[in-house]
Structure 1
Amino acid sequence: MASDLPPYYFRTRENGAFVFRVEPEGRMRRIEMDQIAVVNIRNGEIKPHGDRSLSDTDMAAIRDWMAARQAELAARDLDDIRRTVDHLNQTAHWAQGKASDAELDQVTDALLMAMHDLRGVLVRRKADRVMRDREPG
């Protein structure tokens, strides 16, 4: 098992991770995890933990993880949006055929405001792209 362990462990959090160096043969043959850094993927900051110095190998592993994590989060965002489209379709079906008047009264205003806001953002962003694509140069 010890040979199957990665050299680093990243304990994810909302905006990054705590980075641990994994030492598979610690005291009494236990797996040791030594925190070496804190990472913020939003601003790209890598802070060594305590008075540690990070090696080039540490930095390369952390940067590789950051790139992979950012790609994973971007993919999740798109997947969430695709699920939202599906959910909007299900909501339309529910509103048309299954919802009672009382249920519609509970959600109609909130849905209309959210959809109005979303429509405005999408129309503006599409107009910006169209105008940018038409500009010469």
Structure 2
Amino acid sequence: MSTALPDYYFRIRENGALVFRIDSETRNRRIEMDQIAVVNLRKGEIKPQGDRALSDEDLTAIKAWMAERSALLEAREVDDILRTVDHLNLTAQWAQSRASDAQLDAVTETLLLAMHDLRNVLVRKKADRLGREA
């Protein structure tokens, strides 16, 4: 295991992160975390903390993190959808084999409306894609 600390720490928050520069070369061997920026992934913004000016090294590290984080979130989003497909299959099996009448009464309308809405969106998006290809 490496004992070297990274130069930057990104505290994840919704839509981005707080960026800290790590300093482990302090006199008392304490780890200092100095907040240098706030990142908003959705807007693609990097805001320096206070009156601070970010160095080229800071910006390069932050932009690399932003690219990696965006790719990770995109992959997770697709994985979540594929898990939803699995869950829909498990729900169908549950409804067919184990659900009581009372349980089905409790979920049927909500499930049907959600599935109808999803089907409409998927069909419309598919038609849009096919229209662009033609």
**Runs of at least 5 residues in structure 2 that lack an aligned partner in the other structure:** none
Aligned to 2:92: 92
Aligned to 1:67: 67
Q: 1:52 aligned to 2:61?
A: no
Contact persistence 1:2–1:25 (CA under 8 A): no
Alpha-carbon shift at residue 28 of structure 1 (Å): 1.2
**Amino acid of the structure 1 residue aligned with 2:10:** F
How far apart, CA to CA, are the structure 2 residues paired with 1:93 and 1:3?
A: 50
The ranges of structure 1 where at least 4 consecutive aligned residues each deviate by more than 4 angstroms after the TM superposition are none
Alpha-carbon shift at residue 108 of structure 1 (Å): 0.5
How far apart, CA to CA, are the structure 2 residues paired with 1:7 and 1:33?
A: 10
CA deviations over 1:14-38 (Å, ceiling 9, x no partner): 1000000000122411111000000
TM-score relative to the length of structure 1: 0.95
Aligned to 2:17: 17
**Amino acid of the structure 2 residue aligned with 1:73:** L
Q: Alignment length, in residue pairs?
A: 134
**Runs of at least 5 residues in structure 1 that lack an aligned partner in the other structure:** none
Amino-acid identity (%): 69
Contact persistence 1:10–1:20 (CA under 8 A): yes
**3-state secondary structure, aligned to 1:28:** coil
Contact persistence 1:23–1:32 (CA under 8 A): yes
TM-score relative to the length of structure 2: 0.97
How far apart, CA to CA, are the structure 1 residues paired with 2:73 and 2:121?
A: 22
**Amino acid of the structure 2 residue aligned with 1:123:** V
Q: 1:4 aligned to 2:15?
A: no
